[in-house]
Structure formats: structure tokens, C-alpha cells
Structure 1
Amino acid sequence: MNYNLYLSALLMAATCCSMVMTYLSWKRRELPIAISYGLGMLAGSFYTFGYAFEIVSTTLDHIRFWLRVEYIGIPFGSVIWIIMVLQYTGRQSLVHRRLITLLLIIPTLTITAHYTNEWHHWYYKSVTLNWSEGFPLVSLVKGPLYVVHVAYSYILFALGTALMFQMYLRANSRMKKQIALMIIGSWGPYGFTLVYLSGVIYMPIDISPFGFVFSGFFYLWGIYQFNMLRLAPLALQKVFESMQDAVIIFDLDNNLTSFNQSAKGIVEGLHKKHIGLPAFQVFTRYPTLLERIIQGPTVDSKIQISGQADAKFYNIHMSAVNDTNQKPVGKMLLLSDVTEMVRSEKKLLENSRQLKELNAFKDRMFNVVAHDIRDPLAVLTNLMELMEEELQTCGESHEEILQEMGQQIQNTFTLVESLLDWFRGQREGMVFHPVALNLSNVVEVNMNLLQIRSARKGIRIRSDIPLGSIVYADKEMLHLVLRNLLSNALKFTESGGIIQLQAERVEGKMIVSIIDTGEGVSADLTDSLFQEAYSITSEGTDGERGFGLGLTLCREFVRLNGGEIWFDSTPAQGSTFFFSIPTPPKATHFMASTEGRG
């Protein structure tokens, strides 16, 4: 039996080896380098498969046919190989459509020239049979285009080898083993071809295809022992199929190896062209992530990876990826979106804060009830004392006192009923029900409540608010604000003084002012007058109780209605308290002449 049959069987085995490598690459096709490596193995399989049948063919026509099969892969092998080297050495960004197009010009010319050689004989000058070995072998006289093809292939091989050797010199000891296997494996087809073409050793057959057997051995060793071409990232196998979170894989030198689709939605601009690049180039805009990548295994919760105000929150888990022998082969960055959980926690905290505020509000409401009811009850007490004195003097009429007492009792009863109704509506919290109110009527009601007290001190209260001045506010809140401000003005105004109320409409709001001729606000109280924590009380001009919770409640009620409150005061000359209140929307802008009474 001629030895060509044994060589054919060996070449078929090499073809099977190449096809296995192509299959492994297809399974890892999410990696660009796996695609280029797989195409290279596929191109080599055409060469070995065709040559396996060429050396057992018996006619020149059969040999020409199998040569055409071989040349499906031969011209493109070097181009695919240099692309793979660029990706392997971290130059993925250079692999773009324009470069690939330029690299394919010579291979396209080569395969065209080979398939049309019988027309021009520029690739092979002659093709004949040689029976010197006892079986037919093709004898080829190379033409100029064949020389171009060979020169081009070895130029690319020299360039790729130089890039890998440069990478070898810069790499650490662990990476040197991987790169060395890559270089040795690459020398298989090119080295065998160089020996055959040089004629240094007589070779009746072309030994170039057997170089793929040599390469296949070293490539398989590198892939399964060192994960050389990053074709088997273990982290991707475990989590990519079911993981909804972002997963980003790095090698031990912090070069980007792979990422899933979710990662592209989180890291802006992340693209396959970044694979093979160092992390500091890819994540320049994400210093928080870059710090974790360089730091190594770590776990952080509720981190914002960008500086934007509305940026999402993530749990960051940086862990090591080990191979089956528990040796570290890379790193895995896992990003879990916990924005909704953070927002829910904030909402719970906000609800807790609101509950505390409601509890504090309840306490304040007891104070405001006492504040509003105290004055009428004090007047009733004074009237009762006066009646007792008058009853001791016989013969005098008490009709006027009895009428005043009856009117004051009725006002107090109406006030209490109104407050109780409002409290029932506030059980769910500090809500308000704005309606259109006639401001002049509301002022009139509260002036009547304080009429006896103002008369007793000899203070005149005057309203210059135009009739028909409509505001849009919660009825009871507006009453409480006016009552508190008028009451405080009475307390700090000397007998014979004047309190004046005015209102002016400005840009959709009514500015109400209460002007008194009292003693003014002292400088040491100016900054703390509306503070909620303010608890110091001052006596009025007749010994009345001074500032307390009334003004803090006024501030809160005015703000709830969409307004603001402030004051202007000159010691010993008087004060002016201002507050703004919205006017009704157009849809509710109507005369409310009776609103505000009672």
C-alpha cells in the first residue's frame, strides 16, 4: 500500500480536529476573537480536506477539482489569522470594515486568479502529473500571482508574530505561557510551508496542510489548559443564559473580555469593539466602577455609578472567576439594579417622617384649640366678675351685660363647633379643602370675635379690604391664621392704638397685611419668630400671653394653602405681618359673598 493513503487519513484527522475547533468557536461566538479563530480553523479544514483527496486522486482533472476546494480556504487564512492576532493583543479597535476590506483585496485576487488560471496561466504556468513516488502527484510551475499570494501571506505572518512577541515581552509570567503557545501554534502552517517552498529538504508532497495538525495540538492545549483564546469564559456559561443583571468579564490584567446585553444598557457606549481593551480606557466615565475593578473582589450596596442626579442605584459585586482547577482566570463584575428598592425604602422613611409630623401636629392642635378658645373664655370670666360687682349694687340694669355675655357665649360655641368640624376632617393628616372665600367677610367674622377685647383695651380695628375680594383657601385654616395674627396685634398694641387690615392682589395671589401701632418685635426675636422650636412666650401690654405656637401654625397653614408669611417691624413703632393666599382658578372664580361667615 502506498504511503499516500496513510497521509490522506492523517489529513482527514487534521480536518476533524479543525472542525472541532470551529464548533467550539461557534459556541463562543459572542466573542469576536472566537469568530475569527473559528473562521481560521474552517479555512484550514478546507485545505486539509481538499489535500487529503488530492494525494489519492489518479487523474489531473480530479486533482484540479480538489485544488479548487483547497483554495476556498487558502487565500483567506492569513487575513483571518492577522485579525485574530489584533484581537488577541488588545487591538480590537483596529478591526473595522475598512481594514478588513483592504486586507481582502489580495485574497480575492488570488482565488479569482486560481479559478481562472486556464485562461491566463498567471497563477500556475503549468500543471502536470508526477509518478515518481508510485502514485500521481501534481507538479506545479508557479506564476507571478502565486508569488504575490505567498509574499502577502508571509508579510501578514511576520507582522502578527511581531505583535505577539511584543505582547510576550510585556506580559507577566502567567500570560507568557499562553502567548508562547499561540506563537508556536501559529508557526505550524507557515513553518511547514516555508520548508516545502524553500527546497532545503526534498519533499515530494506539500507538507503545508500537516502544519494544521501541529497547530491544532498546541491550540487545543492552550485553550483547555490556559483558556488561551478566552473561548471558555466560565462565568458566561453559568450566568449569561438566565441572568437579567449586568455581567462584565475581565481577565486578570483587567482587560475587558465580554459582557451581556444588560451591561450595554447600563454602561453607556459599551461596544464589542472595546473587547480586549484595558478597563481604564472603557470605563473612563465611571470612576466608581473602575475603582472596584482594580480593587478586586468586593461587595457594595446601593451605589450610583454615574454623577447624574437621577442616576439609578446598583448593588456591585466584583468576584474572581476560577477554572475547574480553582485557578483564577479572570474577574466578574455583577451589577444588580436596586433603584426601585431604594425608592421604596425612601418612601417608607418618608411615610415614617409624615407619621411623626402627624403626631406632632396632633399635639400642636391641642395648643391651637387652647389658644383660640382661651381669649373668649377670659372675656366671659371678666364679664362674670363684672356682673357680680354690679349685682351688689341694687337697682341698676344688667341688660347690656347680659346681652354681651350671651353674644360672647354664642360666638364661643360657634368657634368650638367650627374647630371640632375641622379636626374631624384632619384625622388623615394635614389635608385641606380649598374653596372660594370672600376675604372681607372672613375678616369681619374674626373682628367681631375680638370686638369686646379690643374695646376693653381701647384699640380700634379697621378693615380696608375691598368688598368682593375673593381668595381660594381652606376656610378654617384661613380663620385660624387671621384670628392668630389679630390676637397677637391686640396683645402688643398699647391702649388707644390702631390695627389696620389691607389686601392687594399681586400676580394671582392676594397679599393680606395686618398693621399695628404696637411695640414691635425685638431684634433678638426677629430670626426665631416663625421657628417651630420657638417656645418662649412674651407678655402683652396688659400682661397677656405672648408669642407661642400660634405663629408657627400660621406659617404651616399658609404654606399648605400655597402662600407665604413674613413680617416687617420697627421696635416701639409697630409691626406689619403679611401673608399671601391664592386667588381662585378661573373655573371657580365667582362671588362668594356669604362664604367665611361662621
Structure 2
Amino acid sequence: MNYNLYLSVLLIAATCSALVMVYLSWKRREHPIAISYGLAVLAGAFYTFGYAFEIVSPNLEHIRFWLRFEYIGIPFGPVLWFIMVLQYTGRQSLVRKRLVVPLLVVPIVTFAAHYTNAWHHWFYAKITLEESEGSTLVSLSKGPLYEVHVVYSYILVVIGMGLLIQMLRRSTPPMKKQVAFMMIGSCSIYGFSLVYLIGVIDVPIDLSPFGFVVSGVFYLWGIYQFNMLRLAPLALQRVFESMTEAVIVFDLDNALTSYNQSAGRAIEGLHRKQLGLPADQVFVRYPLLLERLRHGSFSLRKVQIVGQPDEPFYNVNMSFVCDNHGKPVGKMLLLSDVTESVRTEERLLDNARQLGELNTFKDKMFNVIAHDIRDPLAVLVNLMELMEDEIQGCERDHEEIVHEMGQQIQNTFTLVESLLDWFRSQRGGMVFNPIERDLGHTVQNNIRMMRVRSESKRIRIVSEIPQDTFVYADKEMLDLIVRNLLSNAIKFTAADGSILVKAHRSGNRTIVAVSDTGEGISEDQAPTLLQEAYPTSSAGTAGERGVGLGLTLCREFVRLNGGEIWFDSTLSQGSTFYFSLPDPSESTRISSSSMEGAAV
């Protein structure tokens, strides 16, 4: 029975299917892979259509015509398929003229050799007709160029299939199906041809064109089921890999199937060898993620997945991956690094807290200022009234009243000066400008400024700091530090006491000591004296008042100048306040480090 006519009809149907795929590829020609795929299918269409008429041709002349028609596509099919595989597996950058032109050398030689075979017989050594079951079929004796064509084609096929297998192993579950359809369709074409060439099945007809029938079914199914021509799966893989969010994919049994580069950085120890392992082994160090993964979809915000203080913060979401029918096929864990936004929020909250503290202190400070300025001014007013009455009424000596007025005026002046210094520091009015300073000269200048207050209490102030003792410090800040420490010493030293200022070098630092014979610091007050941001003021031995800002300013300004401040005290025997300053040799280092914190 002659089946050739039925086989011819089948091949024509396969050609029509191929032309449909060529049309679909043309519609999607904006994608390079659609172009290479369409040309490869078109090359196969020449083969199937020509062979459909070859097997029903009545004589050798007709057969030779249809053979030449077939070889319009046969030599170029493997190269076009290989180019398609390169694009499909994400190697589009390789598809350049310097690669494509060498690849086309053998197909062009094959094409030319086939069309000129009658002159040299290097492609087909002999072409004859044979009768088989009532059909006339051609018998071809292959020449050396035919063998070159076959070997070359299958080298490309082996390399291309290797790339597809490599891609199949790396792909996510939804993509594996698409890659599998591509591999089955390709194997159908070249597998049928290989069976015919090596003679595994003894049939008189060429099986190669019928491989296009099988491949056409798989390709069409893949196009409509998986949108094969719309976007190559490795392109999606590249998008997947380039995401800044960490993405980890599990199957429904919680076995790891895929993850991107960001996940590899976020999850310690995650590597390709763990693909296929259960989540229990993947998330050994991440019990929070493991517990949540077992309970379906969830969402967590601003969590540390390990729980260490220095770990990044993540927003974590887990959702199901569904197929086209909405059926869950896996689980996707998405981790978004929000560490920067959390740190920024913490800084904003800390700033808000500091502003709240400043606002509270402002209210407290203004309340203190209202009383501390009002009281001495009220005394001045009363003293002036008494003085006027006394001057008008008699010739008595007014030395005591004048002395008290002078003391109150001095207290008021010191109070206002401290407030102004503090306000300047808080508002950024002080510019940090360290220079080389003569410490002995600075101390003597400030002792002279304190003379009125010290003499009123008969307190002797002595400086044992020799001239030419140089330090590296800001002039205004150094004056304020010395002035405030002397002021405190005078304030808490009883009449007829003494104050001694000394300095000595320790390494590359100069340590200054201001000692008094005052009442000392109580055990309750000592632990917090230099720690409180806004300490309260205590009354001096002669009733002096302040706003408690002197030591706060000293602490901040000593720190800015690269030094430290501390004290020793014995109750009822006196106190010694120490502060250190860098020598001029440390000027470069101190200047650069202190400027970073100079916005006080």
C-alpha cells in the first residue's frame, strides 16, 4: 500500500503550522529571539514542503528540483536554531557579526555544493531511484561535503542542547516548563534526523521532516501556553537576579528551588548546592523566617531576621506562586532592606527627643532667669531707695550699703555673661578656631577679671603656671573654661580662702588643675556633676546664685578642644577641677577631629 500521499499531506500540514509560527514570530519581531526563531522555522518549512512533493514525485528530474528547494532551508536551519538558543539563554551579546559570519561559512558552502553537485559530486556522489512498496523514492550516496554538513550541524546541536540543559537547571519552576518545551521541540527535529542518519530504523524515507511535525505541536503549545516568544525566560531570570530585594522561592514542600543574588547576600551561607534542600536546613540560623514560612502568607515590617543589634532591618513578605489556573505551585519569600529608613527614623526620633529636652530646659531656664535676675535687681532697687533716704536724712557712712550694691551688681553681671555665653553656643554663634595659646597669660588675664569678686570675699588666687606654657585651643572657649572654673571656685570658697592654679605636661597633653579650699562636693552630687546635661544651680558661700550652666559649657568646650575634664573633692576641705588640652604638636589631629563636632 502506498502511504506516500498521506505522508505528503501530513508534511504540508506541518508546513502550514510552521508558517503560522513564522507569522506569530513576525508579529513579535521587536524581540530578537522572535526573529531568529521565525527564520529557523521558515528554514524547516522549506524542508517539509519540498519533501512533501519529493516523496510523490514521479521521476528523478522532479525529485532533484524539490531537493534544491529543500536545501534553501536545510543548511541554515541548525545555525539559525543555535542563534535562537544563544538569545533564549541570555547570550544575546554573543550574537554579533564576528560570530554569525563564521557560523554561516559551512551552510553557505553546503548550499553552493548542493546546487553545483552535478559538476563535482562532492555533496552527493550518486543519485538514483528505487521502487519501494509501489512508490518511487530517491537513493542518495553521500559525499564528503555532506558529511561535513552533518557533523557541523550536530556540533551546533550538542552545544545548544548543553546551554538549554544548563538553563533548565538554573530556572525557576514556572520557567522550567517553558525550557522543557523548547528542548523537546528541538530534540524532535534533530532526533528524528539522527535516527535516520545512523540507520536505527530501516525505513526507505527520510524521517527528518517528520520531526518538524512533532516539534510544531510542542512549539505551538509553548507559544500559547507559556508565551515563549513574548519574553525569553532567561531575560526574566536576569530581571530576577538584578532585583535589589532578596527573593527566595520554595516549592509547596518548602524545598528551596531558586534565589537571586540579593538573597545570597542577605541570607548567610546560601549557595547553589542548597537547591532542593528543605527550608529546615536552609534557614538554620533564621528561626523567625522558618517559623513564618510554615504558616502560609505573612508580612513583617522592620524586623531583624537574626536578632543581632547590628543586623539589617527588613520588610518580609511571603506569598504563593500560582500557575495560569490560579493553583499554588510554590512559595516566594521577599525581603526588602529598610535599614537606612529605620536608621533615619531613629535619628529623627532622637532629634525629636533632644528638641523636647531643649524645650523643657528652656522653660526651666526662663523660670530660673526670671527669679535670678528679679531678686538682685529688686535688692538693688531697695538699696538705692535706702541710699537716697540716708543721703537726704544724715551724713552717715554708707560704705556697707555701697559694698552690697557693688556685690549684687557684680553677681547680676556674671549671671548675664554666663547666659550670653550659653546662648551663643546653643545657637551656633561660636566658631571653633583653635590656635597656639600661652596658657599662663590666659590664666592671669582671667584672674584679673575675677579680682573684684575674689577680693570681696578676701580670697587669694595664685597661678603657678609659668609664662610660655603653650597649648592648642580656641581662644574664646579657653577663656570661658578658665573663667567658669575660677568663678565656681570663688563661689563655693568661704571668706579668707585660697585658690591655686597649676599645670603640668603628661605626654602630648597639658593638664590644668584649679584647686580651692571651699566646702567641697557632697557624695550625692559628685556622681552626676559632670554627667547631667542641664544641672541645677546651688547657692554659693555668700549666697551667690547662677543658672547652673558653667560646668556644662566647660565640659562641652573642653571636649571640642580635644581634652577631658574631671575633678577630685573632699567635703569641707575643697575641690580640684582638672582639664586637659593638647600641645601645639597635636594641632593637626585635634583641628580635624574637633571640627566634626563643632556645631554646639
Paired amino acid for 2:557: V
Q: How many percent identity over aligned positions?
A: 38
Instruction: Give secondary structure in 1 for the equivalent of 2:72.
Output: helix
| CA–CA separation in structure 2 for the residues paired with 1:558 and 1:144 | 94
2:19 to 16, 19, 29: 16
2:113 to 103, 113, 116: 116
In 2 relative to 1, CA 165–48 (structure 1 residues): closer, same or farther, beyond 3 Å? same
Question: How many pairs were matched up?
Answer: 536
| CA–CA separation in structure 2 for the residues paired with 1:310 and 1:173 | 35
- Which aligned pairs between 1:130-169 and structure 2 lie closer than 5 A? 139-144=139-144, 146-147=146-147
In 2 relative to 1, CA 570–248 (structure 1 residues): closer, same or farther, beyond 3 Å? closer
Deviations 1:73-104 (A, max 9, x none): 3444786799899x6xxxx99x998xxx99x9
In 2 relative to 1, CA 443–471 (structure 1 residues): closer, same or farther, beyond 3 Å? farther
| CA–CA separation in structure 2 for the residues paired with 1:298 and 1:230 | 32
- Which aligned pairs between 1:293-332 and structure 2 lie closer than 5 A? 297-302=297-302, 315-329=315-329
CA shift for structure 1 position 20: 5.8
Give the equivalent residue in structure 2 for 1:472.
474
CA shift for structure 1 position 358: 1.1
Paired amino acid for 1:472: D
Deviations 1:130-180 (A, max 9, x none): 7999999654212355456657877998999999999999x9999998898
| CA–CA separation in structure 2 for the residues paired with 1:203 and 1:534 | 104
Deviations 1:505-542 (A, max 9, x none): 999998653122457667776543312189799998x6
Is contact 1:319-1:332 (8 Å) kept? yes
Give the equivalent residue in structure 2 for 1:404.
403
| CA–CA separation in structure 2 for the residues paired with 1:114 and 1:473 | 93
Deviations 1:386-428 (A, max 9, x none): x9xxx9xxx99635434423432442443455456567768xx
Instruction: Give secondary structure in 2 for the equivalent of 1:513.
Output: strand
In 2 relative to 1, CA 174–579 (structure 1 residues): closer, same or farther, beyond 3 Å? closer
| CA–CA separation in structure 1 for the residues paired with 2:24 and 2:401 | 112
Instruction: Give secondary structure in 2 for the equivalent of 1:577.
Output: strand
Give the equivalent residue in structure 1 for 2:45.
48
Give the equivalent residue in structure 2 for 1:578.
578
Paired amino acid for 2:44: Y
Is contact 1:256-1:276 (8 Å) kept? no
Paired amino acid for 1:529: L
In 2 relative to 1, CA 167–19 (structure 1 residues): closer, same or farther, beyond 3 Å? closer
In 2 relative to 1, CA 256–127 (structure 1 residues): closer, same or farther, beyond 3 Å? farther
| CA–CA separation in structure 2 for the residues paired with 1:151 and 1:435 | 82
Give the equivalent residue in structure 1 for 2:413.
414
Paired amino acid for 1:52: F
Alignment of 1:446 with 2:450, yes or no, is: yes
| CA–CA separation in structure 2 for the residues paired with 1:405 and 1:416 | 17
- Which aligned pairs between 1:544-559 and structure 2 lie closer than 5 A? 549=548, 553-558=552-557
| CA–CA separation in structure 2 for the residues paired with 1:498 and 1:333 | 74
Paired amino acid for 1:215: S
In 2 relative to 1, CA 51–533 (structure 1 residues): closer, same or farther, beyond 3 Å? closer
Paired amino acid for 1:530: L
Is contact 2:75-2:149 (8 Å) kept? no
Give the equivalent residue in structure 2 for 1:433.
430
Paired amino acid for 1:576: T
Instruction: Give secondary structure in 1 for the equivalent of 2:528.
Output: coil
In 2 relative to 1, CA 320–378 (structure 1 residues): closer, same or farther, beyond 3 Å? same
- Which aligned pairs between 1:268-347 and structure 2 lie closer than 5 A? 278=275, 297-302=297-302, 315-329=315-329, 341-342=341-342, 345-347=345-347
CA shift for structure 1 position 352: 0.9
Is contact 2:168-2:179 (8 Å) kept? yes
| CA–CA separation in structure 2 for the residues paired with 1:299 and 1:560 | 46
| CA–CA separation in structure 1 for the residues paired with 2:483 and 2:373 | 11
CA shift for structure 1 position 578: 2.5
User: Which consecutive residues of structure 1, in runs of 5 or more, have no partner in the other structure?
Assistant: 30-34, 587-598
Alignment of 1:514 with 2:514, yes or no, is: yes
Deviations 1:57-80 (A, max 9, x none): 865774454343223334447867
Is contact 2:513-2:576 (8 Å) kept? yes
| CA–CA separation in structure 1 for the residues paired with 2:414 and 2:226 | 88
Give the equivalent residue in structure 2 for 1:69.
72
Is contact 1:8-1:56 (8 Å) kept? no
**What TM-score results when the alignment is normalised by the length of structure 1?**
0.61
Instruction: Give secondary structure in 2 for the equivalent of 1:69.
Output: coil
Is contact 1:509-1:580 (8 Å) kept? yes
Give the equivalent residue in structure 2 for 1:532.
532
In 2 relative to 1, CA 520–375 (structure 1 residues): closer, same or farther, beyond 3 Å? farther
**What TM-score results when the alignment is normalised by the length of structure 2?**
0.61
Give the equivalent residue in structure 2 for 1:214.
214
| CA–CA separation in structure 1 for the residues paired with 2:429 and 2:276 | 56
| CA–CA separation in structure 1 for the residues paired with 2:224 and 2:137 | 38
| CA–CA separation in structure 2 for the residues paired with 1:138 and 1:516 | 123
Instruction: Give secondary structure in 2 for the equivalent of 1:514.
Output: strand
| CA–CA separation in structure 1 for the residues paired with 2:339 and 2:174 | 40
CA shift for structure 1 position 562: 4.3
Paired amino acid for 1:446: M
Deviations 1:189-239 (A, max 9, x none): 2454356443845444x3322212212213443565578999687x979xx
Deviations 1:537-570 (A, max 9, x none): 9998x69799995665245553585464523436
Instruction: Give secondary structure in 2 for the equivalent of 1:70.
Output: coil
Is contact 1:379-1:452 (8 Å) kept? no
| CA–CA separation in structure 2 for the residues paired with 1:423 and 1:537 | 14
In 2 relative to 1, CA 160–298 (structure 1 residues): closer, same or farther, beyond 3 Å? farther
- Which aligned pairs between 1:382-397 and structure 2 lie closer than 5 A? none
Is contact 1:566-1:578 (8 Å) kept? yes
